[in-house]
Structure 1
Amino acid sequence: MVGGTGETSYAKNSIIQAKVILKAKPIVEEAIREVYRTLFPMKFVAADLGCSSGPNTFLVISEIISVIHELSRPLDISHEPEIQFFFNDLPGNDFNNIFRSLMDYKKQIKEDKGENFVPFYVAGSPGSFYTRLFPSKSVHFFHSSYSQMWLSQVPRRVDDDSTFDELKKENLYSEQFKEDFSTFLKLRSKELIFGGRMVLTIAGRVNNSEYKDPFYMLGLLRLALNDMISETPTIEELKSIIDQKEWFFYLDHVETLESSWDPFEDELNNLQHDYILRGKIVVKYIQAAVEPLLIGHFDKETIADLFSRYAKIITTHLAEKPKWVNFVLVLKLR
């Protein structure tokens, strides 16, 4: 993601992701309650995988603090619980931005919860979540939102054979997703404590004409760039991977949530029909996420021209009020 706090940074252009996290909040909180009621851990260990940076980074730890604060206060326990929270993302993530914001966040929690809030400690855990990140059976709760769609690599054969047609390339991307998601499940099953939970929110697709393919939006970027291929999973594909017994997980709960391409669709008032301005706003959110993928291939002027063209294309679609489709999965160990 684009680091820092500039105009096109992820920190300033991640309201779409924030709204999805907030829609999933009841599911996340109930999963945390189940873990706490089942295990009553004195040291609750949690990790946000693909945390990125900016204001969204602290949403999940806030949910954990609130739930444990709520559940632990009425209990007659000799030692108050503590929370160890890990922020995970690739080493190039803007961890500095996260930790610069930490003191302000702790001050806010103190104001919201009073002096007796649940003590919490945070640490960074840089690395790909397609590798081992934590000791065996050490984590009570994993959370990840809008991260599993990112593959570990471009499928190996895509660049090897320029004669592949579009369908063959899409199949290769689909196979890469299955391989990556299976690896992800296998690794987390080794790290998650029995009785723990993992909540994943993944952009997906449904066979329903009411919705556009969720990455149709990025497909429109292809019209400007003329080279963009995306593949996202259906809920059936996700279930088929999870149901493989060697990954040791079963699906405890699943919900489908929708979210608008335009995070301000219901809030713009007089700008409701100013699709040109709204197109520019929406494109900033996409640019914050995908620009780092393009920097190695194009100069700044070309990238600026690309996203200018992209904004014009997006504008022509906003009147349809297009939506993303998101699957929220709660997983338990078998």
Structure 2
Amino acid sequence: MATNGALPSIVTTEQVLHMNDGVGDTSYAKNSSNQRCGVLKGKPILEESIRRLYCNMLPKCLKVADLGCASGPNALMVVNDIIDIVESTSFNLNKRVPVFQFYMNDLPSNDFNTIFKSLAQFYETLEEKKGPGFGPCFINATPGTFYKRLFPNDSIHFVHSSYSVHWLSQPPKELTNGAETLNKDNIYVTSTIPPETHKAYLRQFQHDFTLFLKSRSEELVPGGGMFLTFVGREDIPQIRTVIGLLGMVLNDMVVENLIEEVKLEPFNMPMYGPTAEEAKAVIEEEGSFTIQRLESIILGWDANINEDKLDENMRCEFIAKTFRAITETLLKARFGEEIMDELYLRLKDKLLQMLVKGEKLESPNLVISLIKNS
């Protein structure tokens, strides 16, 4: 991995991106409760999707892929939820619970070891909860980008992915290909960008999401299901996103000569939160799936914490840590490790300014349930 500004202006997610590893203070494992809250909000739709699929197929071995699983407790929480849903459905149908095969996918640099280290305890707890007669459950790792094929044809029954599909394979190339940097004062989609920049981001999302859908359509069995949760956007680009605030902080640090301007100018985050209409249009254009549910859920940036027990400063520190866990690897590769503590301290201060002004610290999240067309 390149460091201290040696990274090229076009960065592929596959090369650099992973959530902060380990179980330390800034790790994703310790700072992913916000994503956990989003998964819990969408659980009723997940349950509906799993029950429908299982009742229609009744497979002896249910094969599930979790794409962009990251590390920490959230990954195995989803595995546990799916097992519970299928077990209760099997009981209602007077059927034997199937064997489970879970494929945990993320980029090769992901901290799979944190998942592996927790498997022994997970299996032990599962046996205590379900009893010794419970069918086998196998969990394997499948490293690789989900913008390419990961599994054989017609081999997977269900695909789950939470808080991953908004990550692009790369930032839009046309933002840095010309003599002039089109998104010079921003690192993301905000209300201040020119229309050409927004269109470039939208085209990159359309390209990547189409590849994602096409790959999954080849891997899923006919009638297979898919459940996606990812960061969305209102119809008008909002400057008040955490990534937008990070861009402001980086610009402030350039003015103070803490970061070289030449490092910031061509940098764009490989991320895009689509509107519900943009996501729906790509799904319908690609044509392999039928939409069962598509909903937008508003989620606070400090969701899943007790606001009564935390003051404003602590709430903003919580948000800054959450976004440090998911963005630090990209920013550290570009700007160097030595400014990271200062960067996220300033992000906390920006968030606090918003909170004091009474601005809402929230954004829409898209929850989509799909069925592969026969």
TM-score tier by shorter-chain length is over 0.9
* Highest RCO, 1 vs 2 (Cα 8 Å, sep ≥ 6): 2
Q: What SS does the corresponding residue of 2:29 show, helix, strand or coil?
A: helix
Distance 1:253 1:62, change over 3 A: same
Q: What residue identity is the alignment partner of 2:220?
A: L
Sequence identity (%): 40
1:169 is aligned to 197
1:215-234 pair list within 5 angstroms: 216-226=241-251, 231-234=272-275
Please report the RMSD computed on the Cα atoms of aligned residues, expressed in angstroms.
1.9
The answer to whether the 8 A contact 2:87-2:97 is kept is no
The answer to whether the 8 A contact 2:167-2:272 is kept is no
Instruction: Please give the per-residue CA displacement for 1:160-204, whole angstroms capped at 9, x wherever unaligned.
Output: 225225422232111101100011011100011112110111211
Larger mean Cα displacement after TM superposition, 172-181 or 111-120: 111-120
1:69-218 pair list within 5 angstroms: 69-75=87-93, 80-163=97-180, 164=182, 166-167=193-194, 168-207=196-235, 213=238, 216-218=241-243
Q: What residue identity is the alignment partner of 2:49?
A: A
Q: What SS does the corresponding residue of 1:317 show, helix, strand or coil?
A: helix
State TM-score, norm by structure 2. 0.83
Matched, 1:308 2:333: no
The offset of 1:270, in angstroms, is: 4.1
Q: Please give the alpha-carbon distance, in whole angstroms, between the structure 2 residues aligned to 1:270 and 1:63.
A: 29
The answer to whether the 8 A contact 1:214-1:324 is kept is no
1:256 is aligned to 296
Q: Please give the alpha-carbon distance, in whole angstroms, between the structure 2 residues aligned to 1:301 and 1:252.
A: 47
Q: Please give the alpha-carbon distance, in whole angstroms, between the structure 2 residues aligned to 1:22 and 1:80.
A: 24
The offset of 1:76, in angstroms, is: 5.2
The offset of 1:25, in angstroms, is: 0.7
The offset of 1:75, in angstroms, is: 4.6
Q: 2:279 aligns with which of 231, 238, 254?
A: 238
Q: Please give the alpha-carbon distance, in whole angstroms, between the structure 2 residues aligned to 1:16 and 1:214.
A: 21
Q: 2:43 aligns with which of 9, 19, 25?
A: 25
Gaps of 5+ in 2: 1-18, 184-192, 252-263
Larger mean Cα displacement after TM superposition, 276-285 or 107-116: 107-116
The answer to whether the 8 A contact 1:182-1:247 is kept is no
Aligned pair count reads 326
State TM-score, norm by structure 1. 0.92
1:61-76 pair list within 5 angstroms: 61-75=79-93
Instruction: Please give the per-residue CA displacement for 1:91-144, whole angstroms capped at 9, x wherever unaligned.
Output: 000001101000111122222222333421010000000010000011110001
